[in-house]
Amino acid sequence: MNFINKKKLIVTPSINETNIVFKYILKNLYKNVLKKVKEKNFLKIFDFGSGYQNLKTINSETYNFEYVDFDPLRNKENIFEVLEKIDNKTIFVALNVFMYLEKDLISEILLFLSKKKIKILLNISKDYFFKKQLFFIFRNYKKNFENTLTYEEQCDLIKKRYNIIEKENMFFSDIIFCEAKI
Protein backbone atom coordinates (compact mmCIF):
# COMPACT_ATOMS: atom_id res chain seq x y z
CA MET A 1 0.00 0.00 0.00
CA ASN A 2 1.34 3.43 -0.90
CA PHE A 3 -1.84 5.44 -0.80
CA ILE A 4 -1.50 9.00 0.35
CA ASN A 5 -4.71 10.98 0.49
CA LYS A 6 -3.54 14.27 -0.96
CA LYS A 7 -6.79 16.01 -0.02
CA LYS A 8 -5.85 15.62 3.65
CA LEU A 9 -2.32 16.95 3.27
CA ILE A 10 -1.66 20.44 4.51
CA VAL A 11 1.38 22.38 3.41
CA THR A 12 3.42 24.37 5.89
CA PRO A 13 4.42 27.58 4.10
CA SER A 14 7.92 28.48 3.06
CA ILE A 15 9.72 29.89 6.07
CA ASN A 16 10.45 33.01 4.00
CA GLU A 17 6.78 33.58 3.13
CA THR A 18 5.18 33.73 6.55
CA ASN A 19 4.71 36.31 9.29
CA ILE A 20 7.41 37.05 11.83
CA VAL A 21 5.76 35.14 14.69
CA PHE A 22 5.30 31.93 12.72
CA LYS A 23 8.79 32.30 11.22
CA TYR A 24 10.22 32.42 14.75
CA ILE A 25 8.22 29.33 15.79
CA LEU A 26 9.34 27.39 12.71
CA LYS A 27 13.00 28.36 12.97
CA ASN A 28 13.03 27.43 16.64
CA LEU A 29 11.50 24.04 15.85
CA TYR A 30 13.94 23.32 13.00
CA LYS A 31 16.97 24.39 15.03
CA ASN A 32 15.91 22.15 17.93
CA VAL A 33 15.39 19.21 15.57
CA LEU A 34 18.84 19.72 14.02
CA LYS A 35 20.40 20.04 17.47
CA LYS A 36 18.85 16.67 18.39
CA VAL A 37 20.22 15.12 15.16
CA LYS A 38 23.70 16.34 16.15
CA GLU A 39 23.32 15.13 19.77
CA LYS A 40 22.42 11.65 18.51
CA ASN A 41 25.43 11.61 16.13
CA PHE A 42 23.56 11.08 12.88
CA LEU A 43 25.27 11.90 9.61
CA LYS A 44 22.18 12.04 7.38
CA ILE A 45 18.61 13.28 7.56
CA PHE A 46 15.69 11.79 5.66
CA ASP A 47 13.00 14.48 5.81
CA PHE A 48 9.58 12.93 5.18
CA GLY A 49 6.87 15.41 4.20
CA SER A 50 9.43 18.13 3.59
CA GLY A 51 7.11 20.59 1.83
CA TYR A 52 9.09 23.71 1.00
CA GLN A 53 12.26 22.12 2.43
CA ASN A 54 12.40 24.52 5.38
CA LEU A 55 14.47 22.04 7.39
CA LYS A 56 16.94 21.85 4.50
CA THR A 57 17.23 25.64 4.49
CA ILE A 58 17.99 25.88 8.21
CA ASN A 59 20.30 22.84 7.98
CA SER A 60 22.37 24.54 5.24
CA GLU A 61 22.69 27.64 7.44
CA THR A 62 23.78 25.70 10.54
CA TYR A 63 24.93 22.06 10.66
CA ASN A 64 24.92 21.08 6.99
CA PHE A 65 24.03 17.40 7.52
CA GLU A 66 23.61 15.27 4.44
CA TYR A 67 19.96 15.76 3.53
CA VAL A 68 17.49 13.70 1.52
CA ASP A 69 13.79 14.38 1.42
CA PHE A 70 10.50 13.04 0.20
CA ASP A 71 7.26 14.96 -0.03
CA PRO A 72 4.05 13.19 -1.09
CA LEU A 73 2.81 16.32 -2.87
CA ARG A 74 5.99 16.72 -4.91
CA ASN A 75 7.53 13.27 -5.29
CA LYS A 76 5.92 10.59 -7.42
CA GLU A 77 8.09 7.63 -6.36
CA ASN A 78 6.82 4.88 -4.14
CA ILE A 79 7.74 5.87 -0.58
CA PHE A 80 8.86 2.35 0.31
CA GLU A 81 11.28 2.20 -2.63
CA VAL A 82 12.77 5.48 -1.41
CA LEU A 83 12.94 4.29 2.22
CA GLU A 84 14.69 1.11 1.13
CA LYS A 85 17.75 3.22 0.31
CA ILE A 86 18.27 4.69 3.78
CA ASP A 87 20.58 3.12 6.34
CA ASN A 88 21.03 3.25 10.11
CA LYS A 89 23.32 6.31 9.86
CA THR A 90 20.24 8.18 8.66
CA ILE A 91 17.54 9.51 10.94
CA PHE A 92 13.97 9.60 9.65
CA VAL A 93 12.45 13.00 10.41
CA ALA A 94 8.75 13.85 10.06
CA LEU A 95 7.65 17.24 11.33
CA ASN A 96 3.89 17.58 11.79
CA VAL A 97 3.27 15.14 8.95
CA PHE A 98 1.73 12.01 10.46
CA MET A 99 -1.38 13.85 11.61
CA TYR A 100 -2.47 14.23 7.96
CA LEU A 101 -1.83 10.67 6.82
CA GLU A 102 -4.02 7.60 6.93
CA LYS A 103 -3.41 5.35 9.94
CA ASP A 104 -2.67 2.35 7.72
CA LEU A 105 0.04 4.22 5.85
CA ILE A 106 1.67 5.44 9.06
CA SER A 107 1.61 1.89 10.42
CA GLU A 108 3.21 0.54 7.25
CA ILE A 109 5.92 3.20 7.26
CA LEU A 110 6.72 2.58 10.93
CA LEU A 111 6.79 -1.19 10.42
CA PHE A 112 9.12 -0.81 7.44
CA LEU A 113 11.46 1.54 9.32
CA SER A 114 11.44 -0.54 12.51
CA LYS A 115 12.46 -3.68 10.61
CA LYS A 116 15.49 -1.73 9.35
CA LYS A 117 16.14 -0.40 12.90
CA ILE A 118 15.93 3.19 11.63
CA LYS A 119 15.62 5.72 14.43
CA ILE A 120 12.99 8.42 14.04
CA LEU A 121 12.60 12.01 15.13
CA LEU A 122 9.07 13.39 15.00
CA ASN A 123 7.32 16.62 15.77
CA ILE A 124 3.74 16.12 16.84
CA SER A 125 1.37 19.01 17.45
CA LYS A 126 -0.38 18.91 20.76
CA ASP A 127 -4.15 19.00 21.03
CA TYR A 128 -4.91 22.25 22.77
CA PHE A 129 -8.02 24.35 22.95
CA PHE A 130 -6.99 27.19 20.61
CA LYS A 131 -5.05 25.07 18.11
CA LYS A 132 -7.38 25.57 15.15
CA GLN A 133 -7.89 29.25 15.88
CA LEU A 134 -4.16 29.85 16.18
CA PHE A 135 -3.41 28.23 12.83
CA PHE A 136 -6.19 30.20 11.15
CA ILE A 137 -4.97 33.47 12.67
CA PHE A 138 -1.43 32.85 11.41
CA ARG A 139 -2.88 31.57 8.12
CA ASN A 140 -0.10 29.06 7.86
CA TYR A 141 -2.23 26.23 6.52
CA LYS A 142 -4.20 26.11 3.29
CA LYS A 143 -7.00 23.84 4.50
CA ASN A 144 -8.89 23.21 7.69
CA PHE A 145 -8.23 20.57 10.31
CA GLU A 146 -10.93 18.06 9.40
CA ASN A 147 -10.00 14.40 9.72
CA THR A 148 -6.55 14.90 11.21
CA LEU A 149 -5.17 12.46 13.75
CA THR A 150 -4.94 13.57 17.35
CA TYR A 151 -1.73 13.64 19.34
CA GLU A 152 -2.83 10.49 21.19
CA GLU A 153 -3.70 8.62 17.98
CA GLN A 154 -0.27 9.39 16.53
CA CYS A 155 1.51 8.32 19.73
CA ASP A 156 -0.49 5.09 19.86
CA LEU A 157 0.60 4.24 16.30
CA ILE A 158 4.23 5.06 17.10
CA LYS A 159 4.27 3.00 20.32
CA LYS A 160 3.25 -0.16 18.43
CA ARG A 161 6.65 -0.30 16.71
CA TYR A 162 8.85 2.19 18.56
CA ASN A 163 9.94 3.11 22.07
CA ILE A 164 9.76 6.80 22.83
CA ILE A 165 13.22 7.55 24.22
CA GLU A 166 13.03 11.33 24.59
CA LYS A 167 10.30 13.91 24.40
CA GLU A 168 11.05 17.63 24.29
CA ASN A 169 8.26 20.11 24.95
CA MET A 170 8.10 22.86 22.32
CA PHE A 171 4.95 24.40 23.87
CA PHE A 172 2.58 23.78 20.92
CA SER A 173 4.20 20.47 20.00
CA ASP A 174 6.65 17.81 21.15
CA ILE A 175 9.86 16.69 19.49
CA ILE A 176 9.97 12.93 19.99
CA PHE A 177 13.03 10.72 19.49
CA CYS A 178 12.25 7.02 19.06
CA GLU A 179 14.09 3.74 18.65
CA ALA A 180 12.62 0.59 17.14
CA LYS A 181 11.34 -2.06 19.53
CA ILE A 182 13.45 -5.20 19.49
How much is the pLDDT for 128?
55
Distance between first and last Cα of the chain: 24
For the chain, what's the residue count? 182
d(CA 67, CA 134): 31
d(CA 153, CA 47): 21
User: What's the mean per-residue pLDDT of the chain?
Assistant: 83
How much is the pLDDT for 101?
87
Neighbouring CB atoms inside 10 A of 77's CB total 9
Domain boundaries, the chain: 17-180
How much is the pLDDT for 144?
42
Does the predicted TM-score (pTM) go above 0.75? yes
Q: What is the CATH number of domain 17-180?
A: 3.40.50.150
Burial of residue 40, with CB atoms counted within 10 A of its CB: 0-12 exposed, 13-18 middle, 19 or more buried: middle
Sheet strands side by side (includes 162-169): 66-70, 44-48, 90-95, 120-125, 173-180, 162-169
The 10s digit of each residue's pLDDT in 63-91 is 999 999 998 888 889 999 999 999 999 99
